[in-house]
Structure 1
Amino acid sequence: MTATIPVIDLAPALEGDREARLRVAREIDAACTKVGFFTIRGHGVPLAVIDRLREQASAFFNLPLDEKLRAQPDDASVPRGYRAIGFEALSYGNTIETPPDLKEYYHFGRPDWPDEPYYTSDQGQRFFVPNRWPERPEAFAEAAADYYRRVETLAEQLMALTALALGLDEDFFADKIDRHITAMRINFYPEQKEAPEPGQLRAGEHTDYGLLTILNGENKPGGLQVQIRDGEWIPVETAPDTFVVNIGDLLMRWTNDRWVSNVHRVVNPPASTASMSQRISIGFFHHPNYDALIESVAPPGEARYPPVLSGEYRDEKYRVTRN
C-alpha cells in the first residue's frame, strides 16, 4: 500500500491539558519516525493571514523582472530579498550536481529584535540582518511580518510537543530557540515556457537544515514530493488552511536518527500544463539560536553525529547551495 502523509489536528494540544498534549505528541512521534513529514490542521493561524501574504507575493512575483531585481541585496552573500532563477541548486546541499532550480524566491527573517549584543555584535549581525522589501506591493512587508510572528508562535508550540514526543521535559528546547535565527522564504515557481534541462527541477532533491519546516503550499501541477524510507517518492498535498511540517537535519541529529530528515523535491509540471502553471509556497525554516550546541539525546557512546553549532551548520549549507 502506498504511504501517505499523516494529518494531525493540533487543536486538542493547543486548547487542552497535558494529557491532550501527550496524545498529540505521540501522533507526531509516529509520523516523524515513519515519514518525517506530517500535515497539521487546528494550528491557530488565521486563514486571512495566509491569504493576505499569498496575494502580496503573487502581485510581487508577477511584476516585470527588472523591477523585481531592484529588490535584490547589494551583497549577493546576504540572505535577504529577491533571487531570480539560476541563483540556487538545492541538490548541492546533498552533494548531487544538477542545473539550477527553476524557481524565484523572496528571503526574509525576523521583523525586529532587541538592541542587545547577542543580536548586534559582529557575530549576531551575520544572522540578524535587516529585511529588504520592494516598493511594490506596498503591503508586502506588513503581510510578511504578520505571517512570520503567527508562525513563530506555532513553531514554539510544536517544539514543546516535540520535546514531549521525545520523552523530554516540555520546555527542553525553550532556551535553545528563544533567540532563533529562523528565515522565511516565499518560493515562486513560474510557468515553464521552455523545456527544463536534463535533471533540472523546480527544486532539486534536498533535506532542510534546521529543526522544523512549516510550509504552506498549493495543490497545483508540479508540486512537492517526499522520498520515504523505502525509497518511494510520494506527493505531498495541502489544503489552503493547513501546513505541511517536516523534520530538518539538526532535529534528526538531536534525535540520533529516531526521526528522519527526509529528502524532498519540487517536480516540474506536466509538459501539457507547464506554460500555464504558476505555483507559490511559503516556508518557515525554524532554526535554533546560532550558538545552540546540537548534541544527540542518545545515551553516552551511542551518538551517530558529532556536536555542531546551529549557526555554523546553517552557514555551510548556504555556502554549498548558492551559485
Structure 2
Amino acid sequence: MTTSAIPVIDLSAALHGRADERLRAARAMEAACTDIGFFTVRGHGVPLATIDTLRSHARHFFNLPLATKREAAPADPAVPRGYRALGFDALSRANVGVAGAAPGDLKEYYHFGREQWPDAPYFTGEEGRRYFIPNRWPAAPAGFAEAAAAYYAHMERLTGEMMSLVALALGIDEDFFDDKIDRHITAMRINFYPEQTVAPEPGQLRAGAHTDYGLLTILNGENTAGGLQVCTRQGDWLPVETAPDTFVVNIGDLLMRWTNDRWVSNVHRVVNPPAEAGPAAQRISIAFFHHPNYDALVECVAPPGEAKYPPVRSGDYRTEKYQQTRV
C-alpha cells in the first residue's frame, strides 16, 4: 500500500493510448508535481519478474564480503561506474547552504548506465565519453549485467512515455521532449543500506537530504525500517511507502527549471533504522535517474522575461552536482 498523502496514479489506460485517460493521468501528475513533487505509479507495464530478478542479483552481490565487492570498483574513483563502498558520497552537500563537512551517507551502491550505444561522434567523441562509459560488472552473481540491462530497457520505455504525459500536463506539444531525451545520459544506482552495527555520527543518515538532478527519478524500494522520507511544503517529513509492483516517481532539478518552479524538485532523504532493528533493516532501492541528452539546453517554458533561471546544459549541470557530493 502507499501513504495517502503521496498520490497514486494508474498508468495502464494512459499508456495504451486512450486520449481521455492520458489527459486524466497528466492532470494527476500536474497536481502531484505542483504540490509535493512525488507520486506513485502502478499499471506501468514493467514485468514484476524483471524487477525481482535484478533485486535478487543485487541482494546476492551486496551480501558478498567487502573485499570481493571492492573488486568491482573502478580504478579511478571519479569514474561513475561499478561499486561504491559505504560513505563514498554525501548527497546533502549538493544542496545550497549545506555545510561541506556533511558526513558520508550510510549506503553502498552500484552505478551503471546503458550497455550499448551507436558508433557516432555524439557518443564516442571527447564530450560523449564523459557520459557513455562502459559498465563494470562483478564476477558474481552470474547474470547481474543481463538483469540490469533488461531493467534499464524497461525504464527507458516507461520514462519516454511519461515525458509525453509531462508535456501534456504542462500544456505544450506532447513531443516537446522527444529530441531532448533521445540520446539521454541516464544513470542507474542500486542502493544498499546495510544493517547499522555502529551508531551513526551526528547528522549522518542513510542518504542525506537532497534533491535529484535530472527529469524524473523512478524508484523501486522496500518498506523496511529506515526508509525514504519527503519534505512537505509545510516542512514536515512524510514517509514514502511502496509496494513491489509500483514505482515512486519524483521530479528533478532540471524539470523544475524547465517549468520555472511550477513543479517542485523536492527535498528527500533516507533515515536511519532504530538501533534494535538489526539485520531486518537491510534495504535495497533501485533508482533510474532519467537525465536529458548532455547537450540539451534547459530553458524554462515560461513567457520571456519571467524565467527564474538562466539556460543550462544538461550535462554540465549533472557534472557539477556529482562533484559537490564527493566526500
- TM-score range (shorter-chain normalised) is over 0.9
Aligned residue-pair number:
322
Question: What whole-Å deviation, never above 9, does each CA across 1:81-126 have from its counterpart, x for those lacking one?
Answer: 0000121000000042321000000000011100000000011000
Question: What whole-Å deviation, never above 9, does each CA across 1:244-284 have from its counterpart, x for those lacking one?
Answer: 00010000000000000000000000112045410000000
Within 2, Cα distance between the matches of 1:245 and 1:310? 20
- TM-score normalised to structure 2 length: 0.97
Q: Which one-letter code corresponds to 1:257 in the other structure? A: D
Q: Cα RMSD over matched residues?
A: 1.0
Task: Provide runs of 4+ in structure 1 moved above 6 Å.
Answer: none
Are residue 41 (structure 1) and residue 36 (structure 2) matched? no
Q: Which one-letter code corresponds to 1:261 in the other structure? A: S
Aligned to 1:318: 322
Q: Is contact 1:3-1:234 (8 Å) kept?
A: no
Q: After TM superposition, list the pairs within 5 Å mapping 1:1-323 onto structure 2.
A: 4-95=5-96, 96-97=98-99, 98-323=102-327
Q: Alignment partner of 1:191: what SS?
A: coil
Question: What whole-Å deviation, never above 9, does each CA across 1:24-77 have from its counterpart, x for those lacking one?
Answer: 100100010111000000000000000000000000000000000000011110
Q: Which one-letter code corresponds to 1:219 in the other structure? A: N
Q: Which one-letter code corresponds to 2:236 in the other structure? A: E
Q: Alignment partner of 1:25: what SS?
A: helix
Q: Which one-letter code corresponds to 1:5 in the other structure? A: I
Provide structure 2 residue ranges, at least 5 long, that are not aligned to the other structure: none
Within 2, Cα distance between the matches of 1:80 and 1:312? 18
Within 2, Cα distance between the matches of 1:310 and 1:186? 23
User: Which segment drifts farther, 269-278 or 89-98?
Assistant: 269-278
Q: Alignment partner of 1:152: what SS?
A: helix
Q: Which one-letter code corresponds to 1:247 in the other structure? A: I
Within 2, Cα distance between the matches of 1:43 and 1:114? 28
- TM-score normalised to structure 1 length: 0.98
Within 2, Cα distance between the matches of 1:298 and 1:233? 30
User: Which segment drifts farther, 272-281 or 57-66?
Assistant: 272-281
Provide structure 1 residue ranges, at least 5 long, that are not aligned to the other structure: none
Identity fraction in percent:
71
Question: What whole-Å deviation, never above 9, does each CA across 1:208-229 have from its counterpart, x for those lacking one?
Answer: 0000000000000000000011
